[in-house]
Amino acid sequence: MIELVSNTRCIACGQCVSACPTRVFDISPSGIPVIARQDDCQTCFMCELYCPVDALFVSPHDHPVEAPAESVLVESGLLGSYRKQVGWGKGRTPGAANDQSYLMFKAMQKTPGH
Amino acid sequence: MGNAAIQSDVERIADVLVIGGGPAGTWAALTAAAQGASVVLVDKGYCGTSGATAPSGTGVWYVEPTEEQQEAAMKSREALGGYLADRGWMKRVLNQTYANMNDLALAGYPYSLDDEGQSYRRSLQGPEYMRLMRKRVKKAGVIIMDHSPALELLADEHGVGGASGVRTETGETWTVKAGAVVIASGGCAFLSKALGCNVLTGDGYLIAAEAGASLSGMEFSNAYGISPTFATVTKTAFYTWATFYYEDGSIIEGAGSQQGRSVIAHTLKTQPVYARLDRATEEMQRWMRAAQPNFFLPFDRLGIDPFTQMFPVTLRLEGTVRGTGGIHLIDESCASAVPGLYAAGDAATRQFICGGFTGGGSHNAAWAMSSGYWAGEAASAYATGLGSRSDRRELKGVSAQGSVSALASTDDVSEWVAAVKREVEPFDINLFRTEATLNQSLGRLNSLWRKVQHALAANAADAVRLREAQAMTATARWMYASALARRESRGMHKRLDYPGTDDAQHYRILTGGLNEVWVKPEAALHRTTEVHER
């Protein structure tokens, strides 16, 4: 579930507010989104992908947890890690271009039951 | 609502209204716009991130268009599906999918290259695919309304002519009058939090049924996906390389991602089940990571190595999203039985290509882009054929919502949602089916329906949730009424009291109705070889 909107990173672009399919965020008077309806978060990670400055952290748990502090997330490289893997953002190559499903499926066809 | 005159904060007129902005909806919008139709697309969430495809990755049933390869592709799943699929539909889907996937390349989808340097077109990355589809839809001049769930269809004596709903950001109401409507709002996963599925609550089934459409294949609605207990990522295919364990580390014999899912379910009833992807070679591990980064996200974030460490798994209900039931189609244009109403993707029945067993992501992806394409094309032609007098139609909302005006509180709605989940999530009702348990559950669901059907919500947010509760209740009733009618086991529908497949029941089952649910078997089908020679 969504656990963090980094106030220091957020540029108040509102992308996450729009992109969240279950409308978890509201915009605060300052323009910075707030997590208004965490219970509605379906842990799909899409907001992280649409955040241009890696200001969001979605914990992998499907229920609220005590998430690591922002400094720890930065330190461990987890803040923005998914966007990096998917290859979104300036100067990156889309992960789709490196999709190696063909090797996987080729091997799968040799597995009994496929 | 109901029969009240239509008056909304936002009013639009279009040739075609598409409800749902996932793969099927975006292909429908794109195709309709390409025919010259004016198109409005409404999405309950955000077109580009909504639904099961966007947050995931999917294989696609993309097959070289040679007789031999198509034949092999069609044959491969027929037995699993209980021979309820149709060769004619399968062939059309194979051809259309081939064309659409190649069209995506022209539109700029960055396919990877295989080891022979060929563009590999048998899989799609959800975020990339759906971002591109949104861009294409907008470029085609389609008006997208995000966060705008449809709450009911509008109709007159000639058929469906639009829909109305709310904008969840503002609470404003909207009405779109349209010559034809395409329902592409996905299946129903009963808010199980299977990846991306919480917007998929059967809303399209409900509004279609209110307009008089029927459904088919609703007994094939008990798909459960494997996911880590703590996370939402359901990617059952990856568990091909898993071994399943009891807590003490001993192996659970017979447990598997394919046929062995019921062993997992049985075990989960009494104790936790663990998995470890210890059958993947080192190179396979690399390919898996490159193929589906989202699968590894929960593990990486928790510091678990799924290849070497055991982790607890569960089965999440994917309902009709990975099942094959949905709105029944009466012809190859993806028309429903109601004039002006079309259905595509998971909102429509997928029995024609999958029979009674999920074809997995690849068949669903192929079906979504093909049926979306045809529905968009046909809806556009239908709307154009209506002529210039169509904007003077006297349309009315067709739902019974609020007609008795029993005000429902937020707590009431939450309780109703929980009540439906108690009927559809337990393995002992939905997976291991018997006459007695299905009957008891259907009785409780019928009582629940009487409570939810006339309720009225106090505000826009509650109205959406209330409709979800109604849609899920109705969906569950169609599922179990159909499951009771099929007194055999076929495809994913397993009856403990009728474990065998009965040749006399080699037919598809239609269902529908709201206050009274009805079920009707279609005429018996011929065996696949005969169908092929027809």
CATH code given to domain B406-521: 1.20.58.100
How many folded domains does chain A comprise? Answer: 1
Given pLDDT bands bounded at 50, 70 and 90, which one contains residue A112? very low
Contact across the interface for B110 and A97, Cβ inside 8 Å: yes
Given pLDDT bands bounded at 50, 70 and 90, which one contains residue B125? very high
pLDDT at B131 over 90: yes
Contact across the interface for B293 and A101, Cβ inside 8 Å: no
pLDDT digits (tens, 9 = 90+) for B274-302: 999 999 999 999 888 888 888 999 999 99
B171-185, B311-325, B478-492, B520-534: least confident range: B520-534
Residues of A near B (CB-CB distance < 8 A)?
18-23, 40, 42-46, 49-50, 59-62, 78, 81-82, 85-86, 88, 94-105, 107-108, 111, 113-114
Distance CA B56, CA B38 (A): 31
pLDDT, residue B404, reads 60
A9-23, B177-191, B384-398, B491-505: least confident range: B384-398
Look-up: residue for tokens 């829909």? B163
Chain A, nearest residue to B53 by Cα: A44
pLDDT at B530 over 60: no
pLDDT, residue B71, reads 96
Could you give the residue ranges of the DSSP H alpha helices within B343-459? 351-354, 360-385, 410-424, 435-452
From chain B, the residues in CB contact with A51 under 8 A are none
Distance CA B500, CA B163 (A): 44
Contact across the interface for B114 and A102, Cβ inside 8 Å: yes
Q: Residue B515, SS3?
A: coil
Contact across the interface for B125 and A22, Cβ inside 8 Å: no
Nearest beta carbon to residue A62 from set B44, B231, B300:
B231
B404 vs B137 pLDDT, higher one: B137
pLDDT, residue B534, reads 33
pLDDT digits (tens, 9 = 90+) for B79-93: 999 999 999 999 999
Distance CA B47, CA B359 (A): 25
Closest CA of chain A from B466, distance in Å: 15
Nearest beta carbon to residue A102 from set B120, B127, B168:
B120
Tell me what the mean pLDDT of segment B477-482 comes to.
Answer: 98
Mean residue pLDDT of chain B comes to 93
Which range, A92-96, B289-293, B388-392, has the best average confidence (pLDDT)? A92-96
Mean residue pLDDT of chain A comes to 91
pLDDT at A111 over 60: no
Given pLDDT bands bounded at 50, 70 and 90, which one contains residue B359? low
pLDDT, residue B531, reads 44
Q: Spell out the domain ranges in chain B.
A: 10-221+320-397, 223-317, 406-521
Q: Do residues B91 and B74 make contact, with C-beta atoms less than 8 angstroms apart? A: yes
B223-317 placed in CATH 3.30.1330.10: no
Full residue range of the structural domain in which residue A89 is found: 2-110
User: What DSSP element (H or E) covers B10?
Assistant: strand B10-19
pLDDT at B418 over 80: yes
Q: What is the CATH number of the domain that holds A70?
A: 3.30.70.20
pLDDT at A109 over 80: no
Q: Residue B294, SS3?
A: helix
**What distance separates the 2 farthest-apart alpha carbons in chain B?**
72
Same fold across B10-221+320-397 and B223-317: no
Token pair for B50:
């909504």
Contacts of B202 (CB under 8 A, 6+ apart): B187, B188, B319, B320, B468, B471, B472, B474, B475
Distance CA B121, CA B360 (A): 17
Tell me what the mean pLDDT of segment B203-211 comes to.
Answer: 98
Nearest beta carbon to residue B293 from set A40, A61, A86:
A86
Q: Among all residues of B, which ones are annotated catalytic?
A: 261
Token pair for B291:
């193929």
CATH code given to domain B10-221+320-397: 3.50.50.60
Contact across the interface for B109 and A96, Cβ inside 8 Å: yes
B465 vs B531 pLDDT, higher one: B465
B37-41, B236-240, B267-271: least confident range: B236-240
Distance CA B76, CA B68 (A): 12
pLDDT, residue B297, reads 92
DSSP labels, B451-506 = HHTTEEESSHHHHHHHHHHHHHHHHHHHHHHHHHH--S-BTTB-BSSS-S--GGG-
Distance CA B248, CA B146 (A): 49
pLDDT digits (tens, 9 = 90+) for B21-59: 999 999 999 999 999 999 999 999 999 999 999 999 899
pLDDT digits (tens, 9 = 90+) for A10-32: 999 999 999 999 999 999 999 99
pLDDT, residue B533, reads 36
